[in-house]
């Protein structure tokens, strides 16, 4: 950590759903940055680790009236009564007052998974397997982020490694404030569509704060009152409606589809295009 | 912070209480041994586990009560009811039948100069102030020629209702309950009729817990019933006709009886 | 060998022959071994052996834990009635209740140790506890209460026919027994707390509107409902087990009036529970859930969890048995009594199922699917191991210890 | 007896209590903590000096600049190069994990002949012999996935020395032929099924200009692009050309088709506009829009070298087929290639890093270095209006026994030059020519070529050469449009239509495959998506395993119901339009 105590901030994100093409670059950059291991062959959409996960939603209408959009879901960094932090029996979840970032400490995690039951966004992931990399690939791990062991929970922490790096750089220059854009999570940097805006929500001048105030922005499950810090922005009313509707709406069961496909049989790390 | 204090405070209080409880009972137990209360306590701990039929009050024998279960673990010294009843009419005043005079019941010798304990030990005060302790006729016939006898060391102390000595017979490990408090001054193997010579505490025998005179016959009558039902294998009728004189070695004549069960029934072992 | 066996049994009661007993325990031992193998796989290879996943973070095990702990509540509540409220009649079942309680709690704790991802860190909770977490409360209370049950178990063991021949054991037992009210008191306190905390566990999940409840002070309403329901189910379960044991062993174990008494206690406690549960449900449907953006109807629109589940929980498995148990005439007839008790226990199980499983199955994200889950054989095996362990421990206790003091008198 | 027991108890109790005051229990706690915290067998990241190295992505023709964060000299993460003229500092998902490709399971590591490992010399002699043995009617063909590279030059030179040889390319390697697209100035794009927002040209360039142009997607499937287009026109599979014609008519104001009319209105309101993704009719449409040879439209590029499409190679004519497969993306459908081979003992040589592509059918497999494992080049990006060139220096040390395709061909030709030599010559030529400017990655600056003393060195350090003068207005040859055959119609035998779903995920790192699969973001290659109604009519249920049969063969699929699919159609990853049937397996 830096010797200088940094100026408090409340980091948040605004994601423009009208620009997101669902390419998945954010997921991939995230996994690379945070040393997420490749899947075991047995892993399924429900046992894998995807700190950042892009869901496809649709208006449920039938061809040709059907419409679809992509919603990247990551830890929403709840700012009030953080559900996961409140329930952890041994303070393995901590909210950093200096950044508002909800941090998970795998070294202290018991693996009881109570926090996962508590999280309404399913943004927490459990290490069901011992992490493994193909021979040699472990040499490509990011030195700023520790790998996790089997049996603990992990989740997005806005790329803590990057925050530390940025702070020490600033400290080296004797600054106690970070320039806007000096610290951005990997997903923000990687998005080809520049759909993700990151910054200090408490800084009224910041782009993210402006977008958060925007009338076309919304937060998911806002009514739970947990003050999530991820804002979603769209000009398409049906997307806002779909992201707030009661479930199950009278929609056909095939809506199940895109939210998580069954793993193609026998294809583990093998490339889907050759499965 | 406060919540931490409250929560952990509570938790550790609970732990303290628990360990204190265990520690206290350990300490008390040690204490009991030191003040020689252990034997009595063993009996008190045992008594509730006896079947109800073994816990009848002696005053049921004399018909003073229709039904009464003893709640003092056969220690009449602490029993007001007993005191009151005795004060009312002393047992010796009870009229005795001819046979009783000769002290014979169902052909068993029950000399009236002795005091009988519910556990079938008798106490016989001697002129020299000591008390001899032996097995009564019924008890004697049950353990006739015991496989082994374990007598207390001379100089050791025995307590009323505590274990006086141990007899082993056909797998039955019987502890004979002591009829009095006192120091063992001599032991013998029954040929001269007694097992222990005891110097009673307080100089003379406290006979209050013991049966005598008119109580004996009805008591023995019940004991015989229990003996019979104990001897009778499940479902069979009692083999000993009422009033029939038990042979000298009952064990020998009932080779297939569960002797341990029989003895524990008669010698009050749960 | 048979000699030793018979010398360990209490006098004056009849027990099955060593051979019969062996035949009885063998299958259970086999089951235990199989279960331990499954549990071992989970410990060695990790929880990927289960069918739990990131959505179904809790599965069969947590459901079982909550259920057996609720049923094991008989131990504390009987103790409470006997030692604190001096209901002497319950002396007839208290030993059995204690053993059952001990089995339930130790079993639950064992299952939990397999359930957590890092069992070697179990003590972290005591090291840096988060006192705001219901789970911390549960962990502390359960570990304490397990100790209490263990201490309460000791006297029963020391009274074994062979052990009692050691005077010091008997004396210690005697002294400990004198302090039993203290233990009963502590136990009651602890039980009330963790039965409650188990309810709180789900009541505080503000991220799960299906489970979330408003409450008093730091405790959601489920906290109190769980206490009440556990207290009501405990005696019913004791009743069932006692009946079952006497059927299996083929002897009367308690005087005929004891079971109806247990039934009555259960019934008396059920009534307020059902009442409060209904009120709580109405409040939840009317305000709690909608306030958080979820109209309650939608929870029951997901098949198979239709409204029937509410009806079953409150009426079929709650009100109905309560009414049966409160009518003397019905209570006295074994058929009614037992079916009512069974209903009560099923009701508790269903209630715990709803909170553990249905809560996780229902989607919260508007675009997330409804999830289903079936335990893997390893999970089921581990659960069966707990059952087998319970049966075995109880069988041995029943054979060599005095669980039902009245048995001796009734047996002749 | 009792006494000793009591003593024993006291002793144990005492010692237990005493133990609490020794460090033993506490150190035990600490050790368990340590043990559980650094779980055995978990790989820990290596630490070392953090350096930044630059290279250029060769996974697809986009030629994006790559900034690699390295520990020592090992790349730990890749990112775009800010200010890069072509890629605008952006990498696609596949590019982000290019450094993982080397660790894919299915990579080729040693030369194979008939499936058996051999030394490279043995393979060389074998292939030379095969070439020598070619009869008069048999040709030697090299399938070049990306013509216009130095490697292509090597192939041409080699083939020139043979009596009967053809240098060919897979379909659509140069979709816009001699033209680049002036995306920066386009105001409207009418796309006939082109994945404009899903990997078309370079994603960075497209997204950077997205706000400037209206996007009209004409496509039967509701693809990613369709979902984000300003207007999606769902048309029957195969009827794209009719619609294009209708739009063309509408541009003259004569049509009944309301859709076409609306599209025309948008195109007229947003000029310059272009039409892409298609065939003759689309070319004609472009002519109508006058979008060829003007700013905001198609601009001719000078460095274009025409090359035969594999499709136009006569069937049964190729005796020795050399397939280069270093480019990313999915391999060509094998039946397409097989048709070209002579009937008796043809020889197939695969120059490839992959074992699961054409290598499965090859007699000789020559393992090529994976992306980032050897010095390579990136020529003018597809659709670029300006000529370009950049080097792709290696960031990873390649395993032994690998041979770059060009190297192999050079050795076939008994040419002493090495592949790097060829690249050097190319750079030297640029330097000599002296035109254009060079954008260097580390400092994100541009400088004229003649101001750069050592161009080779600059290029190795990460740079792209751009020659704006490579493009310029030039009279466009009005492309001759042969009318397309009418779209395939369903038959009783094949009641449904097979259409391409979104393009398959490229050959990717284990991590990428994992993420795509676990998020369900890309459909598995074996997914067949149908409208629920269509599915039920065919007696299928969601999630069924089924067999799809089409005139070109049958393949197993997993059925997925999705109301977004056109009724009567089967969406399958990367398939050509054709009638088909589906039944439960």
Tally of domains within chain B: 2
Q: Are residues D193 and D168 in the same domain?
A: no
Block residue for tokens 């136990």: C187
Query: CATH number for the domain including B235?
Result: 2.40.50.100
3-state secondary structure of D349: strand
Question: Helices H, strands E: what count in chain C?
Answer: 19, 2
CB contact under 8 A, C123 and D32: yes
Token pair listed for A260? 């998580």
Nearest by CB to C175, from B3, B4, B28: name it. B28
Cβ-contact B209, B75 below 8 angstroms: yes
Put simply, whether A165 touches D (Cβ < 8 Å) is no
Q: Are residues D352 and D422 in the same domain?
A: yes
Q: What pLDDT does residue C122 have?
A: 85
Q: Are residues B177 and B248 in the same domain?
A: yes
Q: What is the least distance, in Å, from the CA of C400 to any CA of chain B?
A: 13
D467: in domain: no
pLDDT tens sequence across D399-414? 999 999 999 999 988 8
Residues 6+ apart with CB under 8 A from D4: none
CA A4 → CA A158, A179, B187, D60, distances in Å?
A: 21, 15, 91, 46
Higher pLDDT, D135 or C238: C238
CB contact under 8 A, D5 and C168: yes
* Burial of D568 per CB tally in 10 Å (0-12, 13-18, 19+): middle
Q: What is the least distance, in Å, from the CA of A22 to any CA of chain D?
A: 7
D44: in domain: no
SS3 readout for D492-541: CCCCEEEEECCCCCCCCCHHHHHHHHHHCCCCCCCEEEECHHHHHHCCCC
Q: Are residues B24 and B43 in the same domain?
A: no
Block residue for tokens 């009005």: D478
Query: CATH number for the domain including D532?
Result: 2.40.40.20
Structural domain spans, chain A: 11-259
> Alpha-carbon distance D478 to D480, whole Å?
6
Q: Are residues B7 and B109 in the same domain?
A: no
Q: What pLDDT does residue D236 have?
A: 83
Q: Give the CB-side neighbour count of residue A271, counting CA atoms within 13 A.
A: 24
Q: Are residues B47 and B124 in the same domain?
A: yes
Token pair listed for B200? 């009673």
Token pair listed for D235? 């048309």
Cβ-contact A76, A95 below 8 angstroms: no
Q: What pLDDT does residue B143 have?
A: 81
Q: What is the least distance, in Å, from the CA of D411 to any CA of chain A?
A: 31
| Confidence at D329, pLDDT banded by 50, 70, 90 | low
D500: in domain: yes
Cβ-contact D102, D121 below 8 angstroms: no
Q: Are residues D161 and D221 in the same domain?
A: no
Percent of chain D with pLDDT over 90: 19
CA D109 → CA D279, D328, D403, distances in Å?
A: 40, 17, 10
Percent of chain D with pLDDT over 70: 91
Q: What is the least distance, in Å, from the CA of D35 to any CA of chain A?
A: 11
CB contact under 8 A, C127 and D29: yes
Cβ-contact C266, C232 below 8 angstroms: yes
Q: What pLDDT does residue C131 have?
A: 85
Tens-digit pLDDT profile for chain C (412 aa)?
A: 567 788 788 877 888 888 999 999 999 999 999 999 999 999 999 999 999 999 899 999 999 999 999 998 887 888 888 888 888 888 889 999 999 999 999 999 999 999 999 888 888 888 888 888 899 989 988 889 999 999 999 989 988 888 888 888 888 988 998 888 888 888 888 888 889 999 999 999 989 999 999 888 778 999 999 999 999 999 999 999 999 999 998 888 888 889 999 999 999 999 999 999 999 999 999 999 988 888 888 888 887 888 899 999 999 999 999 999 999 999 889 999 999 999 999 999 999 999 999 999 988 888 887 888 899 999 999 999 999 999 999 999 999 998 998 887 787 5
| Confidence at D1, pLDDT banded by 50, 70, 90 | very low
Angle at C318 between CA C314 and CA C323, to 5 degrees: 130
Q: What is the DSSP string of C370-407?
A: P------HHHHHHHHHHHHHHHHHHHHHHHHS-S-THH
Q: What pLDDT does residue A178 have?
A: 85
Res D504 pLDDT > 80: no
> Alpha-carbon distance B203 to B129, whole Å?
7
Q: What is the least distance, in Å, from the CA of C121 to any CA of chain D?
A: 7
| Domain at A11-259, CATH class | alpha beta
Q: Chain-wide mean pLDDT for chain D? A: 84
CB contact under 8 A, A271 and D567: no
> Alpha-carbon distance B10 to D303, whole Å?
83
Percent of chain A with pLDDT over 90: 49
Q: How many Cβ pairs closer than 8 A exist between chain B and C?
A: 102
Q: Are residues D260 and D206 in the same domain?
A: yes
Nearest to D103 by CA among A269, A86, A75: A269
pLDDT tens sequence across B59-69? 888 888 888 88
Q: Are residues D310 and D427 in the same domain?
A: yes
Q: Average pLDDT in the D295-308 region?
A: 78
Tally of domains within chain D: 4
What is the biggest distance separating any 2 CA atoms in chain D, rounded to whole angstroms? Answer: 118
Res A1 pLDDT > 80: no
Cβ-contact D274, D297 below 8 angstroms: yes
| Confidence at B50, pLDDT banded by 50, 70, 90 | confident
D205: in domain: yes
Q: Are residues B13 and B143 in the same domain?
A: no
Query: Which value does ipTM take for this structure?
Result: 0.85
CB contact under 8 A, B45 and C174: yes
Res A37 pLDDT > 70: yes
CB contact under 8 A, B17 and C3: no
Q: What pLDDT does residue D479 have?
A: 38
Q: Are residues D31 and D139 in the same domain?
A: no
Q: What pLDDT does residue D111 have?
A: 93
Q: What pLDDT does residue D17 have?
A: 83
Higher pLDDT, B259 or C58: C58
Please identify among residues 160-219 of chain A the ones whose CB lies closer than 8 Å to any CB of chain C. Answer: none
CB contact under 8 A, C295 and A91: no
Domain that holds residue D19: 2-37
Nearest to A56 by CA among A91, A86, A27, A97: A27
Q: Average pLDDT in the D51-70 region?
A: 91
D69: in domain: no
| Confidence at B264, pLDDT banded by 50, 70, 90 | confident
Nearest to C277 by CA among C235, C240, C239, C233: C233
Res B241 pLDDT > 50: no
Q: Do chains C and D touch (3 or more CB pairs under 8 A)?
A: yes
CB C124: neighbour CB atoms within 10 A? 22
Cβ-contact A230, A217 below 8 angstroms: no
Nearest by CB to D562, from A139, A142, A254: name it. A254
Indicate the range of A109-123, A149-163, C29-43, D278-292 predicted with least confidence. Answer: D278-292
CB contact under 8 A, D103 and A50: no
> Alpha-carbon distance B254 to B238, whole Å?
12
Q: Are residues D257 and D355 in the same domain?
A: no
Chain A partners within 8 Å of C208 (Cβ): 117-118, 120
Q: What pLDDT does residue B52 have?
A: 80
* Burial of B38 per CB tally in 10 Å (0-12, 13-18, 19+): buried
> Alpha-carbon distance B72 to B55, whole Å?
10
> Alpha-carbon distance A38 to D43, whole Å?
13
3-state secondary structure of B100: helix
Angle, in degrees to the nearest 10, between helices C258-283 and C91-115? 50
Cβ-contact D258, D252 below 8 angstroms: no
Q: What's the length of chain D? A: 585
Q: Chain-wide mean pLDDT for chain A? A: 84
| Confidence at B82, pLDDT banded by 50, 70, 90 | confident
Q: How many Cβ pairs closer than 8 A exist between chain A and D?
A: 270
CB D412: neighbour CB atoms within 10 A? 18
Q: Give the CB-side neighbour count of residue B270, counting CA atoms within 13 A.
A: 28
Q: What pLDDT does residue A246 have?
A: 66
Q: What pLDDT does residue B6 have?
A: 84
Indicate the range of A40-54, C286-300, D326-340 predicted with least confidence. Answer: D326-340
Q: What pLDDT does residue B91 have?
A: 62
> Alpha-carbon distance B178 to B75, whole Å?
12
pLDDT tens sequence across A79-96? 988 999 989 998 899 999
Q: What pLDDT does residue B21 have?
A: 92
| Domain's final residue, options D433, D448, D482 | D433
Q: Are residues B167 and B243 in the same domain?
A: yes
Q: What pLDDT does residue D360 have?
A: 87
D59: in domain: no
State phi, psi for D79 to the nearest 5 degrees.
Answer: -150, 170
Q: What pLDDT does residue B95 have?
A: 46
Q: Average pLDDT in the D446-473 region?
A: 81
Structural domain spans, chain C: 52-373
Omega before D272 within 30 of 0, i.e. cis: yes
Higher pLDDT, D284 or A114: A114
Task: Give chain B's end-to-end CA distance (angstroms, integer).
Answer: 55
Domain that holds residue B258: 38-266
> Alpha-carbon distance A198 to A192, whole Å?
15
Q: What pLDDT does residue D308 have?
A: 83
Q: Are residues D200 and D273 in the same domain?
A: yes
pLDDT tens sequence across B98-149? 444 566 777 778 888 888 888 888 888 888 888 999 888 888 888 877 888 8
Q: Are residues B142 and B22 in the same domain?
A: no
């Amino acid at each position: 950590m830096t010797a200088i105590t940094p100026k408090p901030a409340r980091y948040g994100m605004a994601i423009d759903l009208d620009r997101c093409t669902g390419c998945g670059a954010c997921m991939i950059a995230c996994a690379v940055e945070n040393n997420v291991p490749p899947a075991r062959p047995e892993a399924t959409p429900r046992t894998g680790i995807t700190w950042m996960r892009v869901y496809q939603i649709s208006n449920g209408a039938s061809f040709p009236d059907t419409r679809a959009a992509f919603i990247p879901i990551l830890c929403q960094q709840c700012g009030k009564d953080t559900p996961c932090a409140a329930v952890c029996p041994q303070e393995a979840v901590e909210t950093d007052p200096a950044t508002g970032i909800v941090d998970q400490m795998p070294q202290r995690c018991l693996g009881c998974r109570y926090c996962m039951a508590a999280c309404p966004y399913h943004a927490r992931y459990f290490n069901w397997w011992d992490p493994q990399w193909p021979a040699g690939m472990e040499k490509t791990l990011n030195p700023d982020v520790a790998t996790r062991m089997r049996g603990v929970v992990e989740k997005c922490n806005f790329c803590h490694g990057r925050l530390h790096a940025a702070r020490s750089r600033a400290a080296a220059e004797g600054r106690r404030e970070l320039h806007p854009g000096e610290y951005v999570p990997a997903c923000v940097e990687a998005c080809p569509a520049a759909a993700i805006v990151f910054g200090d929500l408490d800084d009224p001048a910041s782009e993210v704060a402006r977008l958060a105030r925007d009338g076309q922005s919304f937060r998911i499950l806002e009514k739970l009152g947990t003050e999530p810090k991820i804002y979603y922005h769209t000009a398409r009313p049906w997307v806002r409606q779909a992201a707030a509707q009661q479930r199950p709406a009278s929609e056909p069961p095939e809506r199940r589809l895109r939210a998580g496909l069954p793993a193609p049989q026998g294809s583990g790390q093998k490339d889907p295009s050759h499965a | 912070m406060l919540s931490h204090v409250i929560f952990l405070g509570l938790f550790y209080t609970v732990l303290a209480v628990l360990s204190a409880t265990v520690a206290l009972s350990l300490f008390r137990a040690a204490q009991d041994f030191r003040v020689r209360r252990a034997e009595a306590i063993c009996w008190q701990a045992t008594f509730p586990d006896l079947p109800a039929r073994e816990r009848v009050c002696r005053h049921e024998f004399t018909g003073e009560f229709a039904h009464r279960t003893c709640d003092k673990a056969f220690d009449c010294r602490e029993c007001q009811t007993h005191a009151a009843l005795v004060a009312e009419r002393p047992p010796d005043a009870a009229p005795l039948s001819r046979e009783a005079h000769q002290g014979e019941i169902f052909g068993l010798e029950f000399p009236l100069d002795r005091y009988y304990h519910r556990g079938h030990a008798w106490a016989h005060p001697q002129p020299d102030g000591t008390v001899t302790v032996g097995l009564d006729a019924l008890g004697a016939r049950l353990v006739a020629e015991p496989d082994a006898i374990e007598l207390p060391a001379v100089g050791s102390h025995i307590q009323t209702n505590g274990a006086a000595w141990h007899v082993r017979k056909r797998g039955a490990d019987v502890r004979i309950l002591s009829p009095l408090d006192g120091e063992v001054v001599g032991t013998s193997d029954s040929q001269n009729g007694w097992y222990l010579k005891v110097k009673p505490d307080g100089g003379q025998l406290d006979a209050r817990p013991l049966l005598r005179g008119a109580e004996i016959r009805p008591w023995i009558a019940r004991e015989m019933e229990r003996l019979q039902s104990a001897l009778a294998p499940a479902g069979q009728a009692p083999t000993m006709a009422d009033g029939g004189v038990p042979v000298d070695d009952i064990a020998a004549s009932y080779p297939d009886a569960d002797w341990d069960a029989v003895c524990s029934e008669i010698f009050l072992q749960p | 060998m048979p000699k030793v066996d018979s010398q360990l049994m209490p006098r004056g009661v009849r027990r099955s022959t060593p051979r019969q007993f062996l035949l009885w325990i063998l299958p259970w031992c086999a089951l235990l071994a199989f279960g331990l193998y499954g549990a071992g796989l989970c410990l060695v290879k990790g929880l990927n052996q289960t069918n739990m996943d990131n959505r179904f973070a809790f599965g069969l095990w947590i459901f079982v834990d909550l259920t057996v702990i609720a049923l094991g509540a008989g131990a504390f509540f009987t103790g409470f009635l006997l030692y604190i409220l001096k209901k002497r009649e319950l002396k007839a079942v208290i030993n059995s209740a204690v053993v059952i309680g001990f089995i339930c709690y130790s079993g639950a704790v064992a299952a939990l140790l397999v359930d957590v991802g890092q069992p070697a860190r179990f003590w972290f909770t005591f090291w840096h506890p988060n006192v705001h977490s219901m789970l911390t409360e549960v962990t502390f209370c359960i570990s304490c209460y397990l100790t209490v049950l263990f201490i309460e178990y000791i006297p029963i063991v020391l009274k074994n026919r062979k052990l009692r021949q050691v005077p010091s054991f008997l004396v210690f037992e005697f002294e400990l027994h004198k302090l039993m009210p203290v233990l009963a008191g502590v136990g009651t306190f602890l039980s009330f707390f963790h039965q409650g905390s188990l309810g709180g566990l789900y009541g505080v999940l503000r991220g799960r509107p299906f489970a979330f409840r408003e409450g008093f002070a730091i405790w959601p309403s489920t906290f109190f409902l769980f206490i009440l329901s556990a207290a009501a189910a405990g005696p019913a379960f004791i009743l069932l087990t006692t009946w079952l044991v006497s059927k299996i062993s083929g002897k009367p174990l308690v005087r005929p009036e004891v079971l109806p008494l247990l039934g009555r206690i259960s019934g008396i406690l059920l009534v307020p529970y059902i009442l409060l549960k209904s009120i709580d449900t109405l409040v939840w449907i009317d305000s709690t859930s909608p306030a958080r953006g979820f109209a309650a109807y939608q929870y029951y629109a997901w098949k198979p969890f239709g409204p029937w589940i509410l009806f079953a929980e409150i009426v079929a498995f709650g009100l109905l048995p309560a009414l049966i148990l409160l009518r003397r005439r019905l209570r006295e007839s074994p058929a009614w009594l037992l079916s009512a008790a069974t209903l009560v226990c099923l009701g508790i199980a269903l209630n715990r199922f709803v909170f553990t499983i249905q809560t996780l199955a229902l989607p919260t994200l508007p675009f997330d699917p409804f999830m289903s889950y079936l335990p893997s054989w390893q999970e089921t095996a581990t659960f069966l191991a707990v059952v087998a362990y319970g049966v075995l421990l109880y069988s041995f206790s029943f054979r060599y210890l005095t669980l039902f003091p009245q048995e001796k008198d009734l047996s002749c | 007896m009792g006494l000793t027991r009591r003593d024993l108890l006291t002793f144990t109790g005492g010692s237990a209590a005493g133990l609490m005051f020794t460090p033993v229990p506490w150190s035990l706690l600490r050790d368990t903590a340590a043990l559980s915290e650094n779980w055995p067998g978990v790989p820990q990241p290596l630490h070392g000096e953090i350096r930044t190295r630059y290279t250029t992505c060769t996974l697809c023709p986009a030629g994006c600049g790559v900034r690699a964060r390295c520990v020592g000299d090992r790349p730990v993460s890749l990112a775009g190069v800010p200010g890069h003229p072509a890629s605008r500092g952006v990498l696609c998902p596949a590019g982000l994990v290019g450094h993982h490709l080397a660790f894919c399971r299915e990579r080729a590591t040693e030369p194979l002949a008939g499936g058996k490992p051999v030394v490279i010399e043995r393979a060389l002699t074998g292939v030379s012999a095969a070439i020598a043995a070619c009869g008069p009617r048999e040709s030697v063909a090299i399938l070049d996935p990306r013509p216009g590279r130095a490697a292509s030059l090597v192939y041409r030179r080699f083939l020139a020395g043979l009596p009967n040889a053809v240098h060919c390319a897979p379909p659509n390697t140069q979709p816009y032929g001699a033209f680049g697209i002036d995306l920066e100035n386009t105001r409207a794009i009418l796309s006939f099924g082109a994945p404009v927002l899903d990997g078309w040209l370079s994603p960075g360039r497209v997204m950077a200009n997205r706000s400037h142009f209206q996007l009209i997607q004409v496509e039967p499937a509701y693809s990613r692009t369709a979902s984000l287009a300003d207007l999606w026109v769902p048309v029957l599979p195969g009827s794209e050309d009719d619609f294009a014609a209708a739009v063309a008519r509408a541009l003259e104001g004569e049509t009944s088709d309301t859709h076409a009319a609306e599209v025309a209105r948008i195109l007229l309101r947003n000029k310059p506009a272009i039409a892409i993704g298609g065939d003759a009719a689309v070319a004609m449409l472009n002519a109508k829009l006058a979008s060829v040879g003007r700013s905001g439209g198609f601009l001719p590029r000078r460095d274009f070298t025409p090359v035969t499409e594999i499709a136009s190679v006569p069937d049964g004519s190729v005796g020795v087929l050399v397939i280069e497969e270093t480019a990313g993306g999915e391999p060509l459908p094998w039946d397409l290639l097989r048709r070209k081979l002579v009937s008796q003992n043809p020889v197939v040589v695969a120059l490839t890093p992959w074992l699961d592509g054409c290598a499965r059918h090859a007699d000789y497999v020559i393992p090529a270095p994976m992306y980032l494992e050897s010095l390579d080049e990136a020529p003018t990006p597809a659709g670029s209006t300006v000529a370009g060139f950049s080097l792709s220096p290696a960031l990873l040390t390649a395993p032994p026994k690998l041979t770059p395709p060009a190297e192999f061909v050079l050795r076939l030709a008994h040419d002493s030059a090495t592949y790097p030599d060829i690249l050097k010559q190319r750079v030297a030529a640029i330097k000599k020519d002296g035109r254009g400017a060079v954008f260097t990655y580390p400092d994100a600056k541009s400088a004229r070529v003649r101001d750069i003393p050592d161009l080779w060195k600059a290029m190795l350090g990460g740079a792209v050469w751009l020659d704006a003068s490579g493009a310029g207005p030039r009279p466009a040859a009005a492309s001759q449009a042969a009318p397309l055959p009418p779209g395939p119609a369903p038959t009783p035998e094949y009641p449904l239509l097979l259409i391409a779903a979104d393009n398959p995920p490229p050959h990717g790192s284990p991590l990428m495959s994992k993420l795509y699969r676990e998020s369900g973001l890309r459909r598995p290659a074996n997914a067949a998506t149908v409208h629920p109604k269509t599915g039920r009519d065919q007696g299928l249920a969601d999630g069924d395993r089924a067999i799809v049969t089409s005139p070109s063969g049958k393949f197993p699929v997993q059925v997925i119901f999705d109301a977004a699919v056109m009724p009567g159609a089967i969406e399958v990853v990367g398939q050509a339009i054709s009638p088909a049937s589906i039944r439960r397996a």
